[in-house]
Amino acid sequence: MKKLVILSIVGLFVFSCVVISAANKPAETQEAYDEDTYGPEAPIVWNKPVKAVFFSHKVHTKDNGLDCESCHDEFFEMEAGAAEAKEDFTMASMGNGLYCGACHDGSTAFAYNAECARCHNAPKEQVVWTKPVQAVVFSHQNHTENAGLGCQDCHDALFTMKSGAAQEKEDFTMASLYAGNYCGACHDGSTAFASNTRCTVCHIGVRGYGKLTGQGEKPSH
Ligand code: HEC
Ligand code: HEC
Ligand code: HEC
Ligand code: HEC
Ligand code: HEC
Ligand code: HEC
């Protein structure tokens, strides 16, 4: 009986040590990021004028030691989304030393007009054009992740960062591609497969379009 009591006391002690150390783990990681000291932990994301531009407080305050006053309220209000409501929240303004451009000038911090992907995310969903013909697709992932291209290989010289913009232009045709414009700047048979081959990797057809948009196949008459 005595043995059993001692055994269970020892057992309880070991058990509580395990519980205490497990309970301490999450507390430690919580201390590592304190929002009052460093600003909000979740990245701020803007979708205007273009989609998926992000900003991290952690990088600026915790990792690079900037204090709140270096941005608030001279360059940014303490309100997520306030800047994107303003007309002048553009790359040109940054060139004039506003917003991110107050520091991202190539000396205080890396330049605003290089390495686009450090601030911009490529869209995940495919671009789909319906003019002049239905159902031509473009995947960013194929080009940025798989082919290793940078944003500047296409933006803004060949395409603007606005889904559907190209199809508003009269010359968004195969003849233009064959002449080396738009996709044809690379899809010429040497940088990438030629535009006059493999029609169906770019043209997904009525059925592919139905699948992609979840609308199913429309009757032809
Ligand atoms: C390098 C610039 C920079 C620094 C330094 C900075 N912030 Fe910010 N902060 C921003 C930007 C950009 C936004 C988003 C504003 C917008 O969308 O218009 C923002 C937004 C905020 C918001 C609003 C978040 C929300 O969800 O509405 C809070 C709160 C905030 N900052 C607190 C802080 C605190 C506290 C510090 C200092 C520890 C700090 N910031 C330092 C740039 C900065
Ligand atoms: C008050 C000065 C200041 C402002 C304003 C500022 N930054 Fe920074 N930023 C820095 C400094 C300093 C660094 C660290 C040095 C570097 O990476 O060049 C940095 C680094 C970064 C990084 C690099 C993160 C990494 O580790 O790769 C990104 C991305 C970034 N900033 C985005 C932004 C964006 C987006 C804005 C505007 C919304 C902005 N910054 C506004 C000073 C600033
Ligand atoms: C330091 C961060 C940063 C870098 C680097 C950066 N951008 Fe931006 N960009 C922004 C922010 C912030 C906005 C405004 C928010 C939005 O549009 O969602 C913006 C908006 C834009 C816009 C729409 C507004 C306009 O000026 O027409 C375009 C286009 C754009 N960026 C292209 C680029 C390209 C191309 C590169 C690389 C050469 C680049 N950006 C590099 C932060 C950056
Ligand atoms: C191989 C060419 C190519 C590369 C590389 C590329 N893009 Fe694009 N991007 C496009 C095309 C094409 C469109 C659609 C434009 C149109 O319809 O006129 C587009 C559209 C966009 C849009 C608008 C999306 C929308 O829903 O409105 C954003 C944002 C964008 N690109 C960001 C990026 C970023 C960030 C990078 C780098 C990480 C990048 N792109 C690299 C070709 C490219
Ligand atoms: C800046 C150069 C560049 C531009 C512009 C470009 N591409 Fe590409 N693309 C590539 C490269 C490089 C590859 C990979 C090599 C290959 O497949 O030949 C590729 C691959 C592809 C693939 C093949 C994916 C697979 O599964 O094999 C498709 C589809 C495609 N591109 C469509 C387009 C369309 C549509 C446009 C125009 C809206 C376009 N690309 C514009 C460079 C480019
Ligand atoms: C690299 C991608 C790509 C390949 C490969 C490609 N196309 Fe296209 N095609 C496009 C784009 C982008 C457009 C313009 C957008 C739209 O019409 O939706 C287009 C438009 C067209 C159009 C309407 C405009 C015009 O020029 O009359 C026809 C017809 C067409 N393609 C036929 C073909 C045929 C046939 C092939 C194969 C021999 C082919 N395409 C291969 C990307 C491609």
Topology of domain 37-118 in CATH is: Cytochrome C3 (3.90.10)
What stretch(es) of the chain map to CATH 3.90.10.10? Answer: 37-118, 127-213
Mutate to test the pocket of ligand 1, among 37, 55, 76 (most ligand atoms within 8 A of CB): 76
Distance 78 CA to ligand 6 centre (A): 47
Mutate to test the pocket of ligand 2, among 53, 55, 61, 104 (most ligand atoms within 8 A of CB): 104
Please identify, in words, the CATH class of the domain defined by 127-213.
alpha beta
Query: Degrees (nearest 5) of the Cα angle 60, 66, 68?
Result: 95
Distance 82 CA to ligand 2 centre (A): 18
pLDDT digits (tens, 9 = 90+) for 75-87: 999 999 999 999 9
What percentage of the chain carries pLDDT values higher than 90? 77
Distance 167 CA to ligand 4 centre (A): 14
Instruction: Give whole-number Cα distances, 47 to 20, 117, 123, 185, in Å.
Output: 44, 15, 11, 28
Show the tokens assigned to 139.
């995947």
Using the structure block, give the residue that is written with the tokens 């000038």.
105
Amino acid identity at 26: P
pLDDT at position 46: 97
pLDDT at position 205: 86
Q: How far apart are CA 105 and CA 111, in angstroms?
A: 5
E strand segments, the chain: 44-46, 53-55, 127-129, 136-138
Nearest CA to ligand 3 atom 42: 119
Q: Which residues of the chain have pLDDT under 70?
A: 1-31, 215-221
In this structure, which ligand is nearest to the CA of 192? 5
Distance 169 CA to ligand 1 centre (A): 39
pLDDT digits (tens, 9 = 90+) for 32-46: 889 999 999 999 999
Pick the closest to residue 102 from 75, 83, 129 (CA basis): 75
